[in-house]
Amino acid sequence: MQLDLMILGNLIVDDIVYEDGSTLMGQAGGAALYMGLTAPLWGLKTGIVSVAGTDFPVEMLTHLRERGVDSTGVRELPGPGLRTWLLYDGDVRRVVHRRGGATHLEASPDLEDVPDEWEPKATHLAPMPMDLQWKQSRRLRDRFGDNVVLSLDPFEPMTEQDLHAWQRRASVFDLHFVSEDEMALGGGRANPIAALGSLFSGRLDTLFYKQGSKGGLALFCGGGQNLAWLARADRVVDTTGAGDAFATGVLAGRIKGVPRLRAMEMGVVSASLAIEGQGVTGLLEATAGKACNRLVDWFGP
């Protein structure tokens, strides 16, 4: 079965602590959920590959299926899944895995969870343990060949000690999404172009540096003009999931073959819809018509 986008990632229960000390407990989350809800806004035929614990709200899988997302790649755990504290601390979001449920590795899918009949045009590896992403990337190339677009969003910090591992991993992907949360190289935040430029090798052609409310910067293989984007929003309620929504919009543009700038604009619109409600509420209330209208209103036809 042909898919536009296949997403490998986590389905999580989030306990969110905002900068002002307010909380939102027991929320369905995880990149697989946020991306799965965003993809239909751009007409993508999508499948998610993930692991759901007994504590993950089953109605969220229903919401995905109602939007045409194939969830047959979701494996059920016999007990609680991954639960995290999301702690908003200034310009950094800290993720702390709670005890008592599955570990990050146990809650992450592997290629054995991918239905045999799926044939994706693009595959995105959401934040998971680095060694698992590396194994998955090589096996994805073996299974689907070089024609599939591979996209990566890392989880572990980018440090001088781990730079070689980052370079090796990035080389097998076409797109790489890095946020300020992962930037731990000395001077990396002050000069991200120099820091991230060292990752270009192999197949990597585009790297997106996500800077939250400041927008971000797109770097392209071979140098040339980098493209910056500014975040936009009609209203901001909760920024959780904005980066996942942005990546989904960009991937939708890549799959549809639109120009680079237009794909980034689709990412900006996707993120703006995600932050209009608490948790996934903004995306549950969004429609394809609203996304397309906002794209035209903000950036032109």
Position 164 scores a pLDDT of: 85
pTM: 0.95
Q: pLDDT tens for residues 56-75? A: 999 999 999 999 999 999 99
Position 297 scores a pLDDT of: 97
Longest distance between any two alpha carbons in the chain, whole Å: 51
Position 47 scores a pLDDT of: 98
Position 157 scores a pLDDT of: 85
Please state, in angstroms and rounded to a whole number, the distance separating the CA atoms of residues 82 and 84: 7
Token pair for 274: 């995600």
Mean pLDDT (the chain) is: 93
Q: pLDDT tens for residues 213-254? A: 889 999 998 766 899 999 999 999 999 999 999 999 999 999
Position 165 scores a pLDDT of: 84
Q: Among 238, 233, 237, 271, which Cα is nearest to 252's? A: 271
Contacts of 247 (CB under 8 A, 6+ apart): 35, 124, 151, 153, 177, 208, 267
Contacts of 168 (CB under 8 A, 6+ apart): 134
Contacts of 90 (CB under 8 A, 6+ apart): 19
Token pair for 28: 């369905």
Average pLDDT over residues 265-283: 96
In the chain, which residue ranges form alpha helices assigned H by DSSP? Answer: 31-38, 58-66, 130-144, 163-170, 192-197, 242-256, 260-274, 281-285, 288-299
Token pair for 287: 């429609």
**Beta bridge partners of residue 214, listed in sequence order:** none
For residue 293, pLDDT beyond 80: yes
For residue 175, pLDDT beyond 90: yes
Average pLDDT over residues 262-275: 97
For 20, list phi and psi in degrees, rounded to 5.
-85, 5
Position 232 scores a pLDDT of: 94
Residue type for 23, please?
T
Please state, in angstroms and rounded to a whole number, the distance separating the CA atoms of residues 275 and 243: 10
Summary count for the chain: helices (H), strands (E): 9, 13
- Strands of 12-17's sheet, edge to edge? 23-29, 12-17, 83-89, 92-97
- The domains located in the chain, with CATH, are 2-100+115-299 (3.40.1190.20)
